Amino acid sequence: INECSLNPLLCAFRCINTYGSYECTCPGGYTLRDDRKMCKDLDECSVGFHDCESRGMTCKNLIGTFMCICPPGMMRRPDGEGCMDENECRTKPGICQNGRCINTVGSYQCDCNEGFLESPSATECLDNRQGFCFIEALQTMCQMSSTNRNLVTKSECCCNGGRGWGNQCELCPLPGTARYKKMCPHGPGYATDGRDIDECRVIPNLCKNGQCINTMGSFRCFCNIGYTTDLTATSCVDLDECVQSPKPCNFICKNSEGSYQCSCPRGYILQADGKTCRDENECSNPTACGAASCYNTLGSYKCLCPSGFDFDQYAGGCQDVNECSVSGNPCSYGCSNTDGGYLCGCPGGYFRVGQGHCISGMGFGNGQYLPVEEEEADAENVLSPETCYECKINGYPKRGRHRRSTNDTESHEDHKISLASLDIDTPIPLNVNISEMGIHDHIMEFLPAIEPLENHVRYTISSGNEASFFRIHQKNGLSYLHLSRKKAIQGKYTLEISSVPLYRKKDLLKLEDENDVDYLVGDIGEALRLKLQIHLL
């Protein structure tokens, strides 16, 4: 069977029928592939199907054929049969720059000028001159301030970011240009001959605030304390310690070039470690509060004065508070400011008792009933306009009181307001003629002298009324002591009259928040404790 005629696609090139089979063949310069059907190029040079060597030439394989070529440094003879030496010194002008070209069989050599070094192949003259490298150059002027004055070769300078080199300020070729690629064939960081450039020696002021460490083709910085490398690791930048965690300072951190500084807020002192703060005891300074009491607090201090005084920062001491000012007058009938306190006046005909109450009655003013005879009572307890005592408040002892005349009008807004007072340390003696006294007649009247107690106080007989001969009645804000309906018996009776504020606890706390603490339970609003020694006649 002729397979070739039955199937023309059996072979890629030519099909030859054989007895009982067939075979494929390829044209000259080709050979069958492993499948014995397709063709591939025959490498005549590797299998020796050429005569180039006998002609002093080199075999070069081509697709489907081959050719004989001359080796480097040789050129084809004019007749094409063989090779002859090529004189590169003539055919390649410019070679051996900075030197003299010497032709050799199949090559050439460079005889380099002084200051230039032959390359390893002796086919180039490498610039080996030494000079300063300048990082800055204005036109053709190299800036001396931009060099570290180390002697380096031109390629070490120009292949490493230099702008100018040498005594004549030879400008470096710009990166990317043909001159640059020729001078720096291995790229930045390497000299012309491929040697690594020590940037730390060539470039001035590298790694300022750190130490420059040379690496292959580059360098890196090892920075001083307080500095850190940038993203390229080729520069030291200030490290902001204040944003680090944990924070280096206990309170306030201020970053500085290469370091940081801790400080403390007012009222604190920086410790010896320079980082932590401790509270400053301002009270250790005797002049901190002057005459006031100094209380140290965390980060500050307070100057406290006795009640009735405020601390004056500019004067540096305690200044009396004028409680009688229009905005804070606590009195119902008139107010007289005193050093460290104030006095609440009473209506005309009334006397102050305690520190927040007014009384009037028998023997007061023009009343019809008189107190006991003068010889029966202590001279200081006689109900006379002369017995007015200015009672010091806010902790001042009663012993420190001095006598004050009721005719003294100093600080009085109205001459009808009385500042006369009674000493209640001893019982007040009264003689009452029961035959002339009706049950509605007032033996004694009581009024609160401070405004917050108006309609918020109750006067009671706390002791001495076991026989129930006396009563206290309240009407229209006035409380008065009178005889009860029970028939009184002549004799001496000692009554204790007390006052009770009618404030609920939360109302009292609110009142104290709006004023001073202990506004009603202190000396100014202290509960009345008045003893009467009544002699029923």
Q: What is the pLDDT of residues 331-353, one digit of tens each?
A: 888 888 888 778 888 888 888 88
pLDDT at 375 > cutoff 80: no
| Residue 62: both structure tokens together | 């081509």
pLDDT at 435 > cutoff 60: yes
Largest CA distance in the chain: 179
Calculate mean pLDDT across residues 220-246: 92
Question: Dihedrals φ, ψ of 100, to 5°?
Answer: -115, 135
Q: Which residue has the higher pLDDT, 532 or 402?
A: 532
| Residue 528: both structure tokens together | 């009345």
pLDDT at 246 > cutoff 80: yes
Q: Which residue has the higher pLDDT, 227 or 373?
A: 227
Measured from the Cβ of residue 265, the count of other Cβ atoms closer than 10 Å reads 10
Which segment, 65-69, 290-294, 340-344, 523-527, is predicted with the most confidence on average?
65-69
Question: What pLDDT, on the 0 to 100 scale, is given for residue 530?
Answer: 85
What CATH number does the domain located at 3-42 have? Answer: 2.10.25.10
State the Cα–Cα distance between residues 24 and 127, nearest whole angstrom. Answer: 63
Angle in degrees, CA 161, 166, 168, rounded to 5: 120
pLDDT at 398 > cutoff 50: no
At residue 507, the 3 state secondary structure works out as: helix
Question: What pLDDT, on the 0 to 100 scale, is given for residue 405?
Answer: 33
- Mind listing the pLDDT tens digit for each residue in 481-495? 998 888 888 889 999
At residue 417, the 3 state secondary structure works out as: coil
Question: Dihedrals φ, ψ of 320, to 5°?
Answer: -60, 140
Question: What pLDDT, on the 0 to 100 scale, is given for residue 380?
Answer: 32
pLDDT at 248 > cutoff 60: yes
Specify the DSSP element, H or E, that contains 218. strand 218-223
Q: Which residues are within 8 A (CB) of 301 and not within 5 positions of it... i.e. 6 or more apart?
A: 267, 281, 282, 283, 288, 289, 294, 295
State CA 437 to chain mean position distance. 81
Question: What pLDDT, on the 0 to 100 scale, is given for residue 388?
Answer: 28
pLDDT at 411 > cutoff 80: no
Q: Per-residue DSSP letters for 57-103?
A: -EEEEETTEEEEEPPTTEEE-TTSSSEEE--HHHHSTTTTTTEEEEE
State the Cα–Cα distance between residues 388 and 423, nearest whole angstrom. Answer: 8
pLDDT at 84 > cutoff 70: yes
Q: Which residues are within 8 A (CB) of 369 and not within 5 positions of it... i.e. 6 or more apart?
A: 361, 362, 363, 430, 431, 432, 433, 443
Q: Per-residue DSSP letters for 289-313?
A: STTSEEEEETTEEEEE--TTEEEET
> Residue 235's beta-bridge partner residues?
none
The CA–CA distances, whole Å, from 430 to 369, 426, 442, 443 equal 9, 13, 13, 9
Q: How confident is the model at residue 525 (pLDDT cuts 50, 70, 90)?
A: low
State the fold for domain 88-127: Laminin (2.10.25)
Residue 397, CB-side half-sphere exposure with 13 Å CA sphere = 2
- Looking at 46-60, 329-343, 439-453, 501-515, which range is the least confident one? 501-515
CB of 324 within 8 A of CB of 335? Answer: yes
pLDDT at 242 > cutoff 90: yes
Question: Dihedrals φ, ψ of 127, to 5°?
Answer: -70, 110
Q: What percent of the chain has pLDDT over 70?
A: 85
pLDDT at 367 > cutoff 60: no
Of the candidates 188, 177, 124, the residue with the CA atom closest to the CA atom of residue 155: 188
Identity of residue 370: L
What CATH number does the domain located at 330-536 have? Answer: 2.60.40.60
Measured from the Cβ of residue 200, the count of other Cβ atoms closer than 10 Å reads 18
Question: What pLDDT, on the 0 to 100 scale, is given for residue 326?
Answer: 61
Calculate mean pLDDT across residues 40-60: 89
- Give me Rg for the CA atoms of the chain: 61
State the Cα–Cα distance between residues 341 and 339, nearest whole angstrom. Answer: 6
* Domain map (residue ranges) of the chain: 3-42, 47-85, 88-127, 133-205, 330-536
> Residue 142's beta-bridge partner residues?
137
At residue 478, the 3 state secondary structure works out as: strand
State the Cα–Cα distance between residues 29 and 45, nearest whole angstrom. Answer: 11
Domains 3-42 and 88-127 share a fold: yes
Identity of residue 389: Y
Angle in degrees, CA 481, 486, 489, rounded to 5: 90
Mean pLDDT of the chain: 82
Q: How confident is the model at residue 523 (pLDDT cuts 50, 70, 90)?
A: very low
State the fold for domain 47-85: Laminin (2.10.25)
State CA 20 to chain mean position distance. 100
Q: How confident is the model at residue 386 (pLDDT cuts 50, 70, 90)?
A: very low
Q: Which residue has the higher pLDDT, 413 or 336?
A: 336
Calculate mean pLDDT across residues 78-96: 88
Of the candidates 63, 92, 61, 62, the residue with the CA atom closest to the CA atom of residue 75: 92
Q: How confident is the model at residue 48 (pLDDT cuts 50, 70, 90)?
A: confident
- Looking at 193-202, 305-314, 469-478, which range is the least confident one? 305-314
Question: What pLDDT, on the 0 to 100 scale, is given for residue 223?
Answer: 94
pLDDT at 500 > cutoff 80: yes
Calculate mean pLDDT across residues 276-293: 89
pLDDT at 293 > cutoff 50: yes
Question: What pLDDT, on the 0 to 100 scale, is given for residue 429?
Answer: 86
pLDDT at 404 > cutoff 60: no
| Cα dihedral value 504, 509, 510, 515, nearest 10 | 130
Question: What pLDDT, on the 0 to 100 scale, is given for residue 417?
Answer: 62
pLDDT at 524 > cutoff 60: no
Question: What pLDDT, on the 0 to 100 scale, is given for residue 310?
Answer: 87
Measured from the Cβ of residue 217, the count of other Cβ atoms closer than 10 Å reads 14
State the Cα–Cα distance between residues 25 and 12, nearest whole angstrom. Answer: 8
Classify domain 133-205 by CATH architecture: Alpha-Beta Complex (3.90)
Q: How confident is the model at residue 520 (pLDDT cuts 50, 70, 90)?
A: low
State the Cα–Cα distance between residues 322 and 308, nearest whole angstrom. Answer: 8
Question: What pLDDT, on the 0 to 100 scale, is given for residue 509?
Answer: 75
Calculate mean pLDDT across residues 62-89: 89
Q: Which residues are within 8 A (CB) of 513 and not within 5 positions of it... i.e. 6 or more apart?
A: none
Specify the DSSP element, H or E, that contains 156. helix 154-158
pLDDT at 408 > cutoff 60: no
State CA 368 to chain mean position distance. 79
Entry pTM:
0.45
